[in-house]
Structure 1
Amino acid sequence: MSTDDESFHPLGDEWEDELETMLDDTEYDSDLGMEMAQDAMRVTKGELSEAEFHEKHHEAVMEEFGEDERPTKEAYEAAQEEAKGTASRMLDAFDGDGGETRRETMKKMGVGAAAVGMGAFSSTRDGPMESLSAEGGHSETTEHSDTQWGMTIDLERCDGCLTCMTACTQENDLDAGVNWMYVMAWEDELHEGHEEGTDTGVYSSDFNMGSDFNMLVRPCQHCTDAPCEKVCPTTARHTRDKDGLVLTDYDVCIGCRYCQVACPYGVNYFQWDEPHTDYEDIPKAKDRDVDSPDEITHAQYEHGERWVDSRAPRGVMSKCTMCPSMQDGQQGDEKVGTSACETACPPNAIQFGNVKDEKSDPYQHREHPSKSRAVIRLSSEHTDSSGIPSPETIDGTLSSDDDIESALEKFENLDKETLSIMKAVELVSDRTEPGDEENNSILRKEQEVVAAVDAFEQYVDLETDAAITQLQLGDGSERQARFRIQQYTGKPNSFKLLEDVGTNPNVTYLGEQPGPEAEQVEGPTKYEDVGLVDKRQDLLDEETVGGIDGVSL
């Protein structure tokens, strides 16, 4: 390991020490796990090539595990030449033919996964990591795929209700304390936390649709260049070529926990004891809009050949999966391009979809945040029966004799500010058709706003000097329209967590980024208030672990 006093892990010395202690309590080589984690991050930063990384640790991995199923040096070199990513391969390791299974032979000891310090997620560079050449060892797993599932999360819409965490727990049948995502409130020297009895917070405009707390939502980032995948000796942790999801094959994972050490974000979890939900009781696809439950097979639940979804069995690593059963159509075509956390989020803070698709919600929200915020807010607060009337309703209500004032009087819930923002959206819209792809609701809603404005202008001219003045749109230019929208929604910062590590995370955030000295504080909703537990280890410390004979995990 490094002889420097400085920690190699982005989450700091304390986290690194905790991880090393955790490895010391397993049957596996702690030094090897720490060294591989450090070198895996050197690979993502371009300081070490994939081939060099494999060659450096191959003999030690073979000695420790009796196998090294990581792609070989030759495979890496071929992949670099052909610009291909690591292939997701089905293994025949641990086939269970005779002898002990890997779960029967492994020690299941370690420390619980806690919420990490906030300061680790601050930016330490002026900008994103530059693209690295194949020579530097940085290859994109999904370079030839048109799909990369990911998210854009608007932290200033997050109200800290923890509904996303609850939905994730229910969708994946997770035990209490096995949290695949965290919602955290924080404060630092530049951003004060919420004070009781005040309305101060992070907001500088009237957008304030979230809480008065600084928030961070932390699922797995599903990195394009994931260090956790590089250290896995069995390729249980793998990236799917077709859609970039970083998943764990539960049948192949040996629970060595090296992936937990190599993850810069602290999002991996070890299944300590037998899950509370038996395998046979997992809802699977049979309870989700399937006509013939008896026809649903084990293989279908495991998405072909690998078991990568829902809660993990005992002694296995797990983390946020971004709902592969939905992305694979196991829950119906309407669920493709959605996730449990996104669907459940009351303030629409999470936009999930194909981040490579320019028409997708996460792409639109990332690239046009103020406009997308306005569209989301208008659509969330207004329906055909309230604020945004349909073109048909407008045609049946207005006449050529109307002006702005008389027209607004004819719609119960349509006011001047709403009409102003609708017109501003129309002015900045390039009228891109949403198409038929999944998760393009922002463009569809934008199209509805534009259509309503077009219908309104058949009766009331909204581009006269008088109308522009009434709607507070400056000189009526696109620039002034953008400024009006920003008055309404704010102009959020955009960032990715630990971007300097070079992992290419596929989650983008809008809002305030925690600084180097940020600390987690109590949020607006307590875990116990919604039936959640912060850390699994807290439960295990209070309960008998193992059987009545005292056998440890």
Structure 2
Amino acid sequence: MTSSEDDSGESFHPLGEAWQDELEASLEETEYDTDLGLEMAEDAMKVTKGELSEAEFHDRYHEDVLAEFGEDERPIESGGEGRVEQALSRIGVDEESRRDVMKKMGAGAGAVGLGAWGTAESDGESAVAATQEDEEEGVEYGDGEGTQWGMALDLEQCDACLACVVSCAEEHNWDQGANWMYVLDYEDTTPGGRNRLIRPCQHCTDAPCEKVCPTTARHTRDSDGLVLTDYNVCIGCRYCQVACPYGVNYFQWDEPDVPAEELEEDHMFDARDRWVGSRGPRGAMQKCTFCATRQDGSKGEELIGRTACEDACPPEAIQFGDMNDPESDPRQYLDDPALARVQSMNSPDEEVQEAIDVVTGETEPAEDEDGDGMTEREARGIIQAEAGSGDSTFRLLEDIGTNPNVVYVGNEPGPEAEQVESEISYADVGQTDDRKDVLDEGTVDLGWFV
């Protein structure tokens, strides 16, 4: 059995054997232990699935990490509190209440139960209530305390113009081909034929990449749940790249195209004075940050709650905001995608406008179809005929327990999905698609999404 295979002889990585082999080869180019990186990545994913506890994971690799790196700054110390207990403690829940919550959640629920209030800074009583409500009612999008930035991405609205990719590159100055934001087309055997996927970092609530970082360079920002990299702390071991189920991490091989002296300081350092914004220096890992320095106000209050990709998207397929706030843009969009779509279209059709007014309550609906005016049922039929239903929503790899904070509207890729050429190429917009060779060789499919 090779180091890239699990006990069954199969690759552990959701992206498949070819992807895992490529990651193994990249680890072998570093000065750090390849086998340790692969084994930690595999077990980090077991933690998110609830198959291994945080404490067991930490203890299993503590001595090896110390021997390899001379330090072990991973979030959970041996014999200490688990991740969920730490979060409850941080938001003010007393010891007795923490025990009650953990008992309700059960031993296997710890990895997936942290949920939307994991980064909260509120009173403990409301946090416990939110936890119980989530369990009892199965709240899908949060309703926790504190801020949790996330996205709703409407795949049926996306026209693959790549404006989001261009704006991200301009905002963060990453090198050609890094592609923190990536848009791809694929063909599938499921109904609908040709489909599309937008892939930023998912900013997981329970991120495997954070679990394997020996220096805490990869970390979750307490104030808003963003998963970030402190470039001043990152040693470039690339373990986070192997542990990420979504393939969103990039290593800065050479000196960056844009030198440090040309970067805006308020875009480099966040409110904690940690270098987590813009592109990274040579030898560091980097990825989508959800425009972290915008969100903490470092670039001005007017940019809080906005990302560069959202601002640039012509069909408004990207909705960014607080996933814990029912009134935020993504939550409102997910509540009624068809209505949100048709409102963004600014249709001149009077019947469509009347339907919008009826559904939004601006106009009183008719009681029956024989009366004057339009019933709500008729209005919704007109809206769906204009914009589609938007009934299908999903999260990528939801079953592995990472709790991604990106929710998609549209068709979920099936096991037979294969990436195909898009009508607009990256070269057409002055960008580079480093996945082109992989696409041409046909070495990566999309079956890992299900």
Q: TM-score range by the shorter chain?
A: 0.7 to 0.9
Is the aligned partner of 1:368 residue 2:368? no
Aligned CA distance change for structure 1 residues 163 and 132 (closer, same or farther; 3 Å)? farther
Q: What residue in structure 2 maps to residue 168 of structure 1?
A: 168
Structure 1, unpaired ranges of 5+:
87-130, 194-212, 287-297, 382-386, 388-414, 430-449, 455-461, 539-553
Is the aligned partner of 1:323 residue 2:326? no
Is the aligned partner of 1:53 residue 2:21? no
Q: Deviations over 1:262-316 (max 9, x none)?
A: 0000000000100111111013449xxxxxxxxxxx8xx3432311000000000
Q: What residue in structure 1 maps to residue 179 of structure 2?
A: 179
Aligned CA distance change for structure 1 residues 185 and 537 (closer, same or farther; 3 Å)? closer
TM-score normalised by L of structure 2 = 0.81
Distance in 2, Cα, partners of 1:463 & 1:192: 35
1:43 touches 1:50 (CA, 8 Å); kept in 2? yes
Is the aligned partner of 1:416 residue 2:350? yes
1:177 touches 1:537 (CA, 8 Å); kept in 2? no
Q: What residue in structure 2 maps to residue 236 of structure 1?
A: 217
Q: What residue in structure 2 maps to residue 433 of structure 1?
A: none
Q: What residue in structure 1 maps to residue 88 of structure 2?
A: 83
Structure with more helix by fraction = 2
Please, which of 187, 196, 210 is the counterpart of residue 215 of structure 1? 196
Q: What residue in structure 2 maps to residue 483 of structure 1?
A: 381
Q: What residue in structure 2 maps to residue 152 of structure 1?
A: 152
Aligned CA distance change for structure 1 residues 509 and 165 (closer, same or farther; 3 Å)? same
SS in 1 for 2:325: coil
Aligned pair count reads 392
TM-score normalised by L of structure 1 = 0.67
- The residue correspondences of 1:11-26 to structure 2 (distance < 5 A) are 11-26=15-30
Shift of 1:365: 1.1
Is the aligned partner of 1:34 residue 2:2? no
Q: Deviations over 1:461-508 (max 9, x none)?
A: x74868867x6x4xx2x4443333222221121011110111000000
Shift of 1:18: 1.0
One-letter amino acid of the structure 2 residue matched with residue 35 of structure 1 = E
RMSD of aligned residue pairs (Cα, Å): 2.5
Structure with bigger gyration radius: 1
1:47 touches 1:136 (CA, 8 Å); kept in 2? no
Is the aligned partner of 1:522 residue 2:427? no
Q: What residue in structure 1 maps to residue 403 of structure 2?
A: 504
Shift of 1:164: 0.1
Q: What residue in structure 2 maps to residue 103 of structure 1?
A: none
Distance in 1, Cα, partners of 2:55 & 2:38: 19
SS in 2 for 1:216: strand
Shift of 1:25: 1.6
Distance in 2, Cα, partners of 1:464 & 1:497: 41
Distance in 1, Cα, partners of 2:53 & 2:332: 34
Distance in 1, Cα, partners of 2:106 & 2:315: 41
Structure 2, unpaired ranges of 5+:
92-103, 122-144, 438-450
Q: What residue in structure 2 maps to residue 117 of structure 1?
A: none
One-letter amino acid of the structure 1 residue matched with residue 16 of structure 2 = G
Q: Deviations over 1:323-343 (max 9, x none)?
A: 011111122211100000000
Distance in 2, Cα, partners of 1:55 & 1:188: 43
Shift of 1:192: 6.2
SS in 2 for 1:19: helix
Aligned CA distance change for structure 1 residues 233 and 78 (closer, same or farther; 3 Å)? closer
- The residue correspondences of 1:142-541 to structure 2 (distance < 5 A) are 142-144=119-121, 145-191=145-191, 213-285=194-266, 301-378=269-346, 381=347, 387=348, 415-426=349-360, 429=361, 450=362, 453=363, 463=366, 473=374, 476=375, 478-492=376-390, 493-535=392-434
SS in 2 for 1:40: helix
Distance in 1, Cα, partners of 2:317 & 2:220: 26
